[in-house]
Structure 1
Amino acid sequence: MKMNGNTILITGGGSGIGRALAEAFHALGNQVIITGRRQSALAEVTAANPGMQAMALDMTDAEGIKAFAAEIVKTYPSLNAVLNNAGIMVMEEIGAGGDYLEISETTIATNLLGPIRLGAALLPHLRTGKDAAMLNVSSGLAFVPMAMTPTYSATKAAIHSYTMGLRHQLKDTGTQVIEIVPPYVQTELMGAHQASDPNAMPLADFISEVMQILTDQPDVTEVVVERCKPLRYAAENGNLDAMFNGINAIRH
């Protein structure tokens, strides 16, 4: 992937990994446009990063995504990269009633349907330009699922599979397809406590390693930081059952 001179759209750019990646790409001289549902969060990020732009987007809104895609292509015709990062991760108690099904459906709409819909809307434009890239953020839990977040893990496994298929279909075009596979990172994805959890990878360290991989390996297909490799390659290394049991030891 070309690391500067891009016009790059980053979903979920108001906080966490999305914001940190947006700031990293912005610092390299890219035109960055971030999206999110909370205007206040987007405004905070753009105020701290002069020149960065923001547009509101609800990744669960199918018609809204179509309208957004038309508007962003019109406003930023040089758009050549999309980073699908927006996602939610909520604990679910399967079969316990309550709002379990609502959580599951919202997670699927946000984490899986959102990137698919946005890709469908923007790929025709990306394919007309040079140095195009589609980056999808999955998770180490795509490869070793967490039982207390079954739908989140399932959506990330689906993103991995979808990204592989997309990459194959676009292999003879100028559009590069890259998967970024985070481990457990210090963000507020599952609440404020996660941002300071010593068991999680510091966000700055994760971003630094991701950007270094993208810089050093311009043709990379999967960005897997060292800390995530035990999860990503658990099946290949014959450790899947042990890793699954270890991750889920606190929940039976």
Structure 2
Amino acid sequence: MNISGNTIFIPGATSGIGLGLALRLHAAGNRVIVAGRRTELLAEIVAQNPGIEAVTVDTADAASITRAADEVKARFPETNVLITMAGIMRIEDLHTGDFLAVAESTITTNLLGPLRLVAAFVDHLSGKPDAAIMTVSSGLAFVPLPITPTYNATKAAIHSFSESLRVQLADTGVQVIELAPPAVQTELLGQQDDPNAMPLEEFLSEVMTLIETQPDAHEILVQRVYPLRFAEANGSYHAVLETLSGH
């Protein structure tokens, strides 16, 4: 992925990593279209950051994704990068069936949302120069945090889907990149003040450096995610799982 000169659509860019990455990419010389459910917040982002555009979308709603995709392709036909950023992370207690509502909502947002976005844009991107799809998994795709089981499962699925998508799109010129963050200081799980999570600005700086220095990378991995990403390969999986389990 080129560090600049793109037109980038980022659903899920109204806070946290999504907004931070949108602002960094805008500053790097890209045209950025942020998207989310809260129109007031989108208007605020646009007002505070001249040049950034906005589209309303609810990534848990298939019809909303279709409408947003149609709007983006009509207003910004040069769009050549999709970043599927939107996601939710909820604690679940699996001792009773009460977890199911949270699990279903998580699957709808974290798995069906990105798949529907890819489906809405893949034909369009196949005809664009320097096109890319960036999916967003997590270090927890590789070793689960037991209190958020469905979140982990959706991110593992995104990793697997990204691998297949990359192989299948190899003949189209569309690059497939997977961003796998570690724990970052955002409001995703109320960890904005967690000293054990990576500071957001530090994470964003490392991500931008990796995009710039490794434009052909399959995965964007900051150093802090290595213990999770490579736990199984280096034999530390069970030790890392015990740590995440609070043992």
Q: Deviations over 1:213-250 (max 9, x none)?
A: 01001100001100100100000001111100111126
In 1, distance between residues paired with 2:48 and 2:182? 27
What is the aligned partner in structure 1 of residue 3 from structure 2? 3
Q: Deviations over 1:66-124 (max 9, x none)?
A: 222112101110000000110000001113344x2111111001001000001001010
Q: Deviations over 1:120-167 (max 9, x none)?
A: 010100001100000011100000001100000000000000000000
What is the aligned partner in structure 2 of residue 55 from structure 1? 55
Of all paired residues, the percent bearing the same amino acid is 52
What is the aligned partner in structure 1 of residue 75 from structure 2? 75
What is the aligned partner in structure 2 of residue 161 from structure 1? 160
TM-score, with length taken from structure 1: 0.96
In 1, distance between residues paired with 2:244 and 2:43? 37
Letter in 1 for 2:5: G
In 2, distance between residues paired with 1:173 and 1:242? 41
TM-score, with length taken from structure 2: 0.98
Query: Is it true that 1:85 corresponds to 2:82 in the alignment?
Result: no
Task: Indicate the SS of the match to 1:120.
Answer: helix
Task: Indicate the SS of the match to 2:25.
Answer: helix
What is the aligned partner in structure 1 of residue 33 from structure 2? 33
Query: Is it true that 1:16 corresponds to 2:13 in the alignment?
Result: no
In 2, distance between residues paired with 1:41 and 1:95? 37
Query: Is it true that 1:238 corresponds to 2:221 in the alignment?
Result: no
2:226 counterpart (226, 229, 234): 229
Task: Indicate the SS of the match to 1:236.
Answer: helix
2:200 counterpart (195, 198, 203): 203
Offset, 1:172: 2.0
In 2, distance between residues paired with 1:177 and 1:245? 32
In 2, distance between residues paired with 1:91 and 1:158? 18
How is 1:142-221 mapped onto 2 (pairs within 5 angstroms)?
142-191=141-190, 194-221=191-218
Offset, 1:62: 1.0
| RMSD across aligned positions (CA) | 1.0
What is the aligned partner in structure 2 of residue 247 from structure 1? 244
Aligned structure 1 segments of 4 or more residues deviating by more than 2 angstroms: 95-98
How is 1:74-153 mapped onto 2 (pairs within 5 angstroms)?
74-98=74-98, 100-153=99-152
In 2, distance between residues paired with 1:120 and 1:169? 13
The answer on whether the counterparts of 1:142 and 1:160 sit within 8 Å (CA) in structure 2 is yes
Tell me the matched-pair count: 247
In 2, distance between residues paired with 1:87 and 1:223? 18
Gaps of 5+ in 2: none
In 2, distance between residues paired with 1:102 and 1:58? 18
The answer on whether the counterparts of 1:15 and 1:41 sit within 8 Å (CA) in structure 2 is no
Gaps of 5+ in 1: none
